[in-house]
Amino acid sequence: MFDVEEIRKDFPILKRKIHGHDLVFLDSGATSQKPESVIKAMDDFYRNTNANIHRGVYELSVESTRLVDEARGKVAEFIGARNEEIIFTRNASESLNLVMYSWGKDNVKVGDAVLVSKLEHHSNLVPWQELCRETGAELRIIDVDAEGKLKISGAEEQSFEESGLNVKLGSFDKLVDEKVKLFAVTGASNVLGTLPDVTGMIKTIKSKSPEVTVLVDASQMVPHMKVDVKTLGADFVAFSGHKMMGPTGTGVLWGKKEILSKMRPFLFGGDMIGEVKITGSTWADLPSRFEAGTPDIAGIIGLGEAVDYLEKLGMDDVRQHEKELIKYALEKMSVLEKEGLVVIYGPRDVEDRGGALAFNVVGVHPHDAAQILDNFGIAVRSGQHCAAPLVTGFGVPAMVRATFYVYNTKAEIDYLIEKIREVPKVFA
């Protein structure tokens, strides 16, 4: 197991003071902090190597191209994929939109259904709402129970219709049939930390409907636990680089080669073409076909470095560390809950959840709670966390969310608990 105090030295930002206090950064679910090695790799690139990729025969361009290829190889190995199956994007949202535009528009039609869950981040909900509205396909949503776990069986089915979009809300077993062409589901909730049994659900749905294509939004998964696309059973996996210690502006789409190679590009331009004539063009092979224009070269190199950093820590240990933190945080928060100071949302069993803790301070709006905590140097997020249907489904307009990563400590959780007690006093 790694030594957290040693790890903390690798993250320059953790030395910062916020309003005179040590920074306690509990918002890695939104974006993680970056280790020195990632920052340095990007800095080195701009100082020593900077040139565009793929288009030059000169040394710098050759080196740049090699660095991007190496980073692609690192990401591929990290998730058990082949290099040409790794598409670099700006973020997970772009990865998900790529699937919607390049695969969805050609494969989903009226009479079909797209299945998602109520846990989805807006980026894995809104594209499918739009696709279903345009095509006349039905949007099916797996509901959540009071703990924020997916309802696998038995729930009453509800139907909704608005501006041409037909929505069914219910339990997994009732929503799965041969009409479902796409199952797009999160591997870990960014709000509640819920870890749905994605592998189990994929097995069930593929046995009932062998033609179904499965997309996993792994944005809150890949940074926090071992993900192997060979055993996951999905056809697409989307995640962002900046939540796993990489720089902002980096995201990844993994897709099975046999599916990707049949898809049309959705962005056109430089680098993604085969042959161009004035009367038309052909497309480049994978992965270039889906990477039009100059990519974020330095960012991709930084992402490769982030993968190295995570590999060095070991993803099983990363998960173990976060499990211990969330277990500790839940124990401490339960005390505040018993005192009537807070309400906690999400599963209580650490086996069922990742390192996201959603809560509210009783009688205090989450924005106020977050701002008061900020005055003590604690960075937590407040709002709907890009998951409005999920959050409002709990009968509240918004929630406070603390998310943990490798550099967080139990002492920071103690400090959070201590300062949560201060929050209601401001309004007393």
- Residues serving a catalytic function are 386
Q: Residue 424 interacts with other proteins (CB under 8 A)?
A: no
Work out which of 375, 393, 409, 424 binds other proteins, going by CB under 8 A.
375
Q: Kindly state the smallest distance separating residue 366's Cβ from other proteins, in Å.
A: 8
Work out which of 50, 281, 371, 409 binds other proteins, going by CB under 8 A.
371
Q: Residue 398 interacts with other proteins (CB under 8 A)?
A: yes
Q: Kindly state the smallest distance separating residue 76's Cβ from other proteins, in Å.
A: 35
Interface size with other proteins, residues (CB under 8 A): 19
Q: Give the span between the Cα atoms of 378 and 24, in whole angstroms.
A: 5
Q: Give the span between the Cα atoms of 136 and 113, in whole angstroms.
A: 9
Q: Residue 363 interacts with other proteins (CB under 8 A)?
A: no
Q: Residue 91 interacts with other proteins (CB under 8 A)?
A: no
The H or E element containing residue 154 is: none
Please calculate the CA angle 250-252-254 and round it to the nearest 5 degrees: 170
Q: Residue 383 interacts with other proteins (CB under 8 A)?
A: yes
Residue 213's closest CA among 243, 172, 183, 241? Answer: 183
Q: Give the span between the Cα atoms of 174 and 317, in whole angstroms.
A: 37
The stretch among 64-72, 224-232, 233-241, 383-391 that binds other proteins (CB under 8 A) is 383-391
Name the residue nearer to other proteins (CB basis): 350 or 420: 420
Q: Residue 384 interacts with other proteins (CB under 8 A)?
A: yes
Residue 377's closest CA among 344, 419, 342? Answer: 419
Q: Residue 372 interacts with other proteins (CB under 8 A)?
A: yes
Cβ of 312: how many Cβ atoms within 10 Å?
9
Work out which of 126, 174, 388, 424 binds other proteins, going by CB under 8 A.
388
Q: Residue 397 interacts with other proteins (CB under 8 A)?
A: yes
Name the residue nearer to other proteins (CB basis): 262 or 421: 421
Name the residue nearer to other proteins (CB basis): 114 or 400: 400
Q: Residue 62 interacts with other proteins (CB under 8 A)?
A: no
Alpha-carbon distance values, 173 to 152, 178, 270, 390 (Å) = 6, 12, 45, 20
Paired tokens of 426: 């401001």
The stretch among 220-228, 249-257, 265-273, 379-387 that binds other proteins (CB under 8 A) is 379-387
> How far out from the chain centre does Cα 408 lie?
19
Q: Give the span between the Cα atoms of 196 and 214, in whole angstroms.
A: 14
Q: Kindly state the smallest distance separating residue 403's Cβ from other proteins, in Å.
A: 17
- Give, as one character, the DSSP assignment of residue 264: P
Cβ of 261: how many Cβ atoms within 10 Å?
14
Q: Kindly state the smallest distance separating residue 350's Cβ from other proteins, in Å.
A: 28
The H or E element containing residue 212 is: none
Binding site for other proteins (CB under 8 A): 365-368, 371-372, 375, 382-384, 386, 388, 391-392, 396-398, 426-427
